[in-house]
Amino acid sequence: MPISDYFSPDYASARERFRAAAAAAGAEWQEYPLAAHLGPHGERLGIDVARLGDADATRALVLISGTHGVEGLCGSGCQVGYLGDRLFRALPAPSCALLIHALNPHGFAWLRRVTEDNVDLNRNFVDFDQALPAAPAYEELHPWLLPATWEGDARSQADAALLAYAQRHGMRALQSAVSGGQYSRPDGLFFGGRQPTWSARTLRQILAEQLPRAVQRVAVIDVHTGLGPPGYGEPILVPCSPADTERARRWYGPGVKDLSAGESVSAQLQGTLAAGFRAALPAAELTFIGLEFGTRPMQEVLTALRADHWVHAHRPTDLRLREAAQQQMRAAFYTDDSAWQAAVYGRMADYIYRACRGLGA
């Protein structure tokens, strides 16, 4: 099967293709439905989980798609390829593979990066019993990110203000201020939420139900898009200790970028999915990386995010604005080009084999 056939144009077809591939591979499968929400064509939404390997495994490989909704178009294709090409044969014994498809199904279906409650799932794993982190730099930028109108003088003035901020402080500072995570503006970009989302709660349930109790070593690869050179997958580590960094570089090589050290194309983040895994699996040795695949220039990606959030904050009656925002989001986080898809899948397969060698070491 051509690599391009692993990838799907939308959530509904991606889900169907993933389920068919899981069945053909002989995987155990379970659905975790997102109740009270439907897709754009009235389709049911949910997280699908496929498991392969030893029932009493002590080691597990976890592959995740759709943490950021629309980015699932890429991650789902990689998961379908993993199943179709039988990459699970590389698992060392006794191991299992857990494929979590569309961790954020609402965002995937509606071509949004956030969940059904406008929350960035990869900023949602904080302790909500404590005071939430402040983001003063984001507060300064928020009125410019979401101006009063999307077309006309207000937008032009907002764009000019953002450009001036970047010229004063640098593009890296702008990226950090916008994307690090904020907990004060529910309609804003990179909002981490006020409580755990359905996806966050369901992830904990999935790990409790699907991972064998004997698991001691876990390798996670979470697929993301939108940052870096087109088609290149940067391995991003969210370490908990120096031992995590040393182990990840032993497994994957010196190209691993330590997020906490500011080495990555991503800004430093709070409330990440890696923190959720550590809370759910406190006794396991966890090696968690994100593979971040580039698509479009950063400015285009940020503009798409601003348009998407503006449309959902203001609910314009002009359908042209809504449709344009969706098209911008899809283009910012996914590429239909077969060469890009081949580069993505090849990189993902390479890192899956590296993870399997690490698990067996």
- Specify the pLDDT at position 24: 98
Tokens at residue 92, please?
């060392």
Are residues 48 and 31 part of one domain? yes
- Specify the pLDDT at position 268: 82
Are residues 197 and 345 part of one domain? yes
Q: What is the DSSP string of 257-303?
A: EEGGGT-SSSPP-SS-HHHHHHHH-TTSEEEEEEEEEE-S-HHHHHH
CATH of the domain at 207: 3.40.630.10
Are residues 353 and 218 part of one domain? yes
CA distance 287 to 225: 20
| pLDDT tens digit sequence for 289-338 | 999 999 999 999 999 999 999 999 999 888 898 999 999 999 999 999 99
| pLDDT tens digit sequence for 333-356 | 999 999 999 999 999 999 999 999
Mean of per-residue pLDDT scores for the chain: 95
- Specify the pLDDT at position 186: 97
Are residues 244 and 113 part of one domain? yes
- Specify the pLDDT at position 260: 82
Whether 184 is covered by a domain: the verdict is no
Whether 40 is covered by a domain: the verdict is yes
- Specify the pLDDT at position 27: 98
**Top mean-pLDDT range of 10-19, 240-249, 310-319:** 10-19
pLDDT exceeds 80 at position 87: yes
Are residues 205 and 125 part of one domain? yes
Are residues 25 and 110 part of one domain? yes
pLDDT exceeds 80 at position 9: yes
- Specify the pLDDT at position 319: 87
CA distance 248 to 238: 10
Are residues 90 and 204 part of one domain? yes
Whether 288 is covered by a domain: the verdict is yes
Whether 271 is covered by a domain: the verdict is yes
Domain count, the chain: 2
Are residues 355 and 206 part of one domain? yes
Whether 185 is covered by a domain: the verdict is no
Whether 104 is covered by a domain: the verdict is yes
CA distance 276 to 270: 11
Are residues 206 and 141 part of one domain? no
Range in 9-18, 234-243, 276-285 with the lowest mean pLDDT: 234-243
| pLDDT tens digit sequence for 98-140 | 999 999 999 999 999 999 999 999 999 999 999 999 999 999 9
Are residues 147 and 121 part of one domain? no
Are residues 342 and 194 part of one domain? yes
- Specify the pLDDT at position 134: 94
pLDDT exceeds 80 at position 240: no
> What is the domain range of residue 151?
136-179+300-328
CA–CA distances in Å: residue 62 to residues 111, 140, 350: 24, 38, 15
* Mean pLDDT for the stretch of residues 14-28: 98
Are residues 254 and 234 part of one domain? yes
Whether 275 is covered by a domain: the verdict is yes
